[in-house]
Amino acid sequence: MYVVTIDTETCGGCGECVSTCPGQIFELVESKAQVKDDSEECLGCQSCVIVCSSQCITLEEY
């Protein structure tokens, strides 16, 4: 499984991860991305890591 971590200090709230993720894992709350509480499992596609210009998304595989 994959664990997605967002650095909210550097997140600029652009929403690119929200619109890119095929698993619809992200949402914007007060202009910061966060992983939804009821999110589906991350597919590990790396799209969010690539699309985030602030490089604040980290993907770890367990």
Which of 3, 5, 19, 22 touches ligand SF4 by CB under 6 A?
Answer: 22
Which of 3, 5, 12, 58 touches ligand SF4 by CB under 6 A?
Answer: 12
38-44 long-range contacts (CB < 8 A, ≥24 apart) are: 41/1, 41/2, 42/1, 42/2, 42/3, 42/4, 43/2, 44/2
29 binds ligand SF4 (CB under 6 A): no
- The residues that touch ligand SF4, with contacts defined as CB under 6 A, are 2, 4, 6, 11-17, 20-23, 25, 33, 42-48, 51-52, 54, 56-57, 59
